[in-house]
C-alpha cells in the first residue's frame, strides 16, 4: 500500500479518536466517571456549554441612568474646587449644584472671581455659563458630558462582568445595546434573585459621621419594623439639620429570622468613598463568630482613613452601601494601615455577595430594569430535543439521498459527513464553546455544505469517466478540478461567519462559531477524508468501473 495512503488513514484515525476523547467530558453520564486529572485538564477537561435557549436561565435588559453619572461628576468637581479655593485663599460662601451638569458659586469677594475662573479653566472640562459679580454659574462642557455618559455605560459592562464572573456563571453574555442599554444573559443560573441583587447594586460605599449632637438622635427609637421605616422618615421630614438624613441598618434575628431596622441620623458630608478599596473578602469575627467583610485601602485611601479616624476618636461613623447602613462603630483610636472590617447582621452568603460587589467596584450610575425574562429548563429541554430531531432527520435524509443517487460513492460521502460531525463536536468541546439553538442550525448547515462539496467532486468525476478515462485517473481529475470551486465557496462562507462573529451578539455568535468550525473541518473531510477512502479501495483492487 502506498505510504501516503497509510499516513492519511492514520491521520484520520487520530483526529477521530481525539475528537471523541475531547467530547467525552461533555456527556454528563460519562464525566462523573472520568478521573480527576482528566476533568481538571485545561483542554481535555473542557466541555460544551449550553446557551440560554437550551438550558434555561435569565435574559435581562437594563438602562444605565447616565444622567446620574453626570450628576456624580458635577459633585466631584464641586468638591475639587472647594478644596482648591481653600488652598488659594478664595473664600466661597456657597457652592451648590443647580442641575445635573451645572453648579452656582457665590464668592465672599467679587474681586476673587478671576482667580476662581482660572481654577475652573485649569480643570479643562468646565466652562463659565453666567456671572453676576461674585455669583458664577459653571457647567460641564458638552463634549465632556457625552464622554462621561459613554464611559458610564462601558464601565457598567465591565463592572457587571466582574460581578457575574465571581458568581461562577458559565459563558454569560454581557453586552452594550444601543446608546445606554445593557443586555445580560445568564445561562443555567441557579439563584435568579441573588443574581439580580448582585447586578442591581450600585455599590456606592460611603463613610459618613453620625450626627450625635442633634436632639433628633436621642428621640429615634432603637429599632422599628421594616414596614415602619418610611413612616419614621416622613415623621421627621423638615425637622432635620440641612444635609442630614435618617438611614437604617438591617437587623435579622438569628433565632426567629424576623427583620427589623435600626435608624441613625447621618451627616450629609461624605468623609470617604469606596473608590480607594483594593480588596474585600469574607472573614469570621473573633468576637461572636459571625461573618464580616474585611477590606483594604490603597495608600491614598489609607492616609485619608487614618486622618478621619484620628480627628474623630470616640465618635461614631457609619459604613453605608447604597443607602443602607452596614455598621456604625465607635472610633476607638486612630486606625493606620488602611485595613478595616464591615460587620453587620448578615449571613455568610450575604457577606460573600457584599465582598463581590465591593471587589468589582461601584457602578458609575444606577441601572433601571427594562426587561427580566426567566427561561425555564423545560423550554431548554424542548429546544434541545427539537434541535436534535432536526439534525437527525436532516442527516438521515442526506445519507439516504446520497446512497441512492451516488451509490457506493454516496456511502463514502456519508462517511465524510459523519466524520465531519464527530470532529466538529470535538472541536466545540475543546474550545469550551457555548452551544445555542442557532448553533444547532449551524451544525445542520455544515451537514448540507459537506454534501454539497461531495456533489461537486462526484459530478467532476462523472465528467472524467464520460471522457473515457480510467477510474483512478477520473477520481484524481475530479478532485483536482473541483478543488478551486470547493475551496472558494468555503472561504467566502468563512468570511461571512467571521463577520457574524465580530458584529453579532449572543446566539448569533454561537451560530458563527459553529459555522466557521464546520467550514474548516468540512474542507478537510471533503478533500482528504473521501479521497483517502477512494485511494485505499484502488490500492487494494484495481477498479474497472466506479459505482457513482
Grid cell 455544505 is found at 449
Helix, strand, coil share of the chain (percent; to 5): 55, 20, 25
**Assigned architecture for domain 205-348:** 2-Layer Sandwich (3.30)
Distances (CA, A) of 71 to 28, 63, 127, 129, 282: 51, 17, 16, 17, 32
Q: What is the C-alpha separation between 397 and 465, in angstroms, rounded?
A: 27
The pLDDT value given to residue 245:
92
From the list 324, 323, 374, 362, the residue with the least C-alpha distance to 344 is: 324
Please report, in tens digits, the pLDDT of each residue of the chain (548 residues total). Answer: 567 778 888 888 888 898 888 888 888 778 778 888 887 787 787 888 777 777 778 889 999 999 988 988 888 788 778 878 888 888 888 888 888 899 999 998 888 888 899 888 888 889 999 988 889 999 999 999 999 999 889 888 888 888 887 777 766 888 888 889 998 888 878 788 888 888 887 777 788 999 988 888 888 998 898 888 889 999 998 888 888 999 998 887 777 777 889 999 998 888 887 777 788 888 887 667 778 888 888 888 888 888 888 888 889 988 888 788 888 888 888 888 888 787 776 778 878 877 877 776 778 888 899 988 877 655 566 767 777 787 788 778 888 888 888 888 888 888 888 888 888 888 888 887 777 778 888 888 888 887 888 888 888 888 888 888 888 888 888 888 888 888 888 888 889 888 888 877 667 777 888 888 888 888 888 878 888 888 787 777 776 777 77
All three cell numbers of 193, joined, read: 434573585
* CATH 2.70.98 assigned to 57-153+171-186: no
Sorted by where each begins, the domain ranges of the chain are: 3-53+376-540, 57-153+171-186, 205-348
All three cell numbers of 483, joined, read: 478543488
All three cell numbers of 427, joined, read: 472541536
Strand locations in 274-353, DSSP E? 277-284, 291-297, 317-321, 324-327, 339-342
Q: What is the C-alpha separation between 346 and 206, in angstroms, rounded?
A: 19
Provide the 8-state DSSP code for 227.
G
Q: What is the C-alpha separation between 147 and 152, in angstroms, rounded?
A: 8
Q: What is the C-alpha separation between 77 and 103, in angstroms, rounded?
A: 9
Environment class of 155 (CB within 10 Å of its CB; exposed 0-12, middle 13-18, buried 19+)? middle
At residue 319, φ and ψ (nearest 5 deg) are: -100, 115
Order the strands of the 277-284 sheet from edge to edge: 277-284, 291-297, 339-342
The pairing of beta strand 135-140 with beta strand 102-107? antiparallel
Grid cell 450629609 is found at 268
Residue count (the chain):
548
The answer to whether the pTM exceeds 0.85 is: no
Provide the 8-state DSSP code for 333.
S
Is 134 within 8 Å of 113 (Cβ atoms)? yes
The pLDDT value given to residue 376:
66
DSSP alpha helices (H): ranges in 270-376? 299-311, 348-360
Q: What is the C-alpha separation between 252 and 194, in angstroms, rounded?
A: 18
Q: Is there a shared CATH topology between the 57-153+171-186 domain and the 205-348 domain?
A: no
Grid cell 487614618 is found at 306
CATH of 3-53+376-540, one of 1.10.560.10, 3.20.20.150, 1.20.1640.10, 2.30.30.90: 1.20.1640.10
Amino acid at each position: 500500500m502506498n505510504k501516503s495512503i497509510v499516513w492519511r488513514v492514520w491521520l484520520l484515525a487520530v483526529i477521530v479518536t481525539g475528537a471523541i476523547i475531547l467530547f467525552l467530558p461533555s456527556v454528563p453520564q460519562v464525566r462523573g466517571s472520568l478521573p480527576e486529572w482528566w476533568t481538571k485538564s485545561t483542554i481535555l477537561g473542557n466541555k460544551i456549554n449550553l446557551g440560554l435557549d437550551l438550558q434555561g436561565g435569565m435574559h435581562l435588559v437594563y438602562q444605565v441612568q447616565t444622567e446620574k453619572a453626570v450628576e456624580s461628576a458635577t459633585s466631584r468637581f464641586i468638591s475639587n474646587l472647594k478644596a482648591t479655593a481653600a488652598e488659594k485663599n478664595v473664600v466661597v460662601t456657597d457652592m451648590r449644584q443647580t442641575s445635573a451638569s451645572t453648579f452656582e458659586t457665590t464668592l465672599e469677594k467679587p474681586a476673587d472671581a478671576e482667580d476662581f475662573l482660572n481654577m475652573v479653566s485649569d480643570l479643562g472640562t468646565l466652562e463659565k455659563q453666567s456671572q453676576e459679580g461674585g455669583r458664577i454659574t459653571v457647567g460641564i462642557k458638552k463634549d465632556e458630558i457625552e464622554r462621561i455618559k459613554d464611559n458610564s455605560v462601558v464601565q457598567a459592562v465591565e463592572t457587571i462582568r466582574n460581578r457575574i464572573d465571581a458568581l461562577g456563571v458559565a459563558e454569560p453574555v454581557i453586552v452594550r445595546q444601543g446608546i445606554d442599554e445593557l443586555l445580560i444573559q445568564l445561562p443555567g443560573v441557579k439563584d435568579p434573585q441573588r443574581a439580580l441583587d448582585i447586578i442591581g447594586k450600585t455599590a456606592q460605599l460611603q463613610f459618613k459621621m453620625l450626627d450625635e449632637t442633634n436632639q433628633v438622635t436621642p428621640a429615634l427609637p432603637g429599632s422599628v419594623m421594616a414596614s415602619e421605616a418610611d413612616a419614621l422618615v416622613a415623621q421627621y421630614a423638615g425637622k432635620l439639620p440641612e444635609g442630614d438624613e435618617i438611614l437604617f441598618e438591617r437587623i435579622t434575628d438569628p433565632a426567629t429570622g424576623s427583620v427589623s431596622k435600626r435608624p441613625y441620623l447621618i451627616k450629609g458630608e461624605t468623609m470617604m468613598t469606596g473608590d480607594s478599596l483594593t480588596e474585600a473578602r469574607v472573614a469570621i469575627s473573633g468576637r461572636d463568630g459571625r461573618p464580616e467583610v474585611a477590606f483594604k485601602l490603597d495608600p491614598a485611601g489609607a492616609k485619608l482613613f487614618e486622618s478621619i479616624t484620628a480627628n474623630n476618636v470616640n465618635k461614631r461613623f457609619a459604613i453605608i452601601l447604597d443607602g443602607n447602613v452596614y455598621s456604625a462603630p465607635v472610633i476607638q483610636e486612630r486606625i493606620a494601615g488602611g485595613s478595616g472590617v464591615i460587620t453587620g447582621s448578615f449571613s455568610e452568603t450575604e457577606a460573600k455577595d457584599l465582598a463581590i460587589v465591593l471587589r468589582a467596584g461601584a457602578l458609575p450610575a444606577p441601572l433601571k430594569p427594562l426587561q427580566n425574562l426567566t427561561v425555564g429548563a423545560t423550554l431548554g429541554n424542548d429546544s434541545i430535543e427539537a434541535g436534535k430531531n432536526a439534525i437527525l432527520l436532516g442527516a438521515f435524509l442526506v445519507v439516504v439521498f446520497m446512497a441512492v443517487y451516488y451509490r457506493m460513492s454516496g456511502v463514502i460521502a456519508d462517511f465524510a459527513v459523519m466524520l465531519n460531525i464527530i470532529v466538529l463536536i470535538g472541536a466545540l468541546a475543546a474550545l469550551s464553546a457555548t452551544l445555542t439553538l442557532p448553533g444547532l442550525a449551524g451544525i445542520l448547515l455544515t451537514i448540507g455544505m459537506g454534501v454539497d462539496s461531495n456533489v461537486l467532486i462526484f459530478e467532476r468525476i462523472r465528467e472524467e469517466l464520460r471522457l473515457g478515462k480510467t477510474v483512478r485517473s477520473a477520481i484524481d481529475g475530479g478532485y483536482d478540478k473541483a478543488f478551486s470551486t470547493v475551496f472558494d465557496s468555503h472561504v467566502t462562507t468563512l468570511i461571512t461567519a467571521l463577520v457574524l462573529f465580530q458584529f453579532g451578539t449572543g446566539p448569533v455568535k454561537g451560530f458563527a462559531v459553529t459555522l466557521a468550525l464546520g467550514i474548516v473541518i468540512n474542507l478537510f473531510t471533503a478533500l482528504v477524508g473521501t479521497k483517502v477512502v477512494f485511494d485505499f479501495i484502488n490500492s487494494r483492487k484495481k477498479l474497472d468501473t466506479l459505482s457513482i
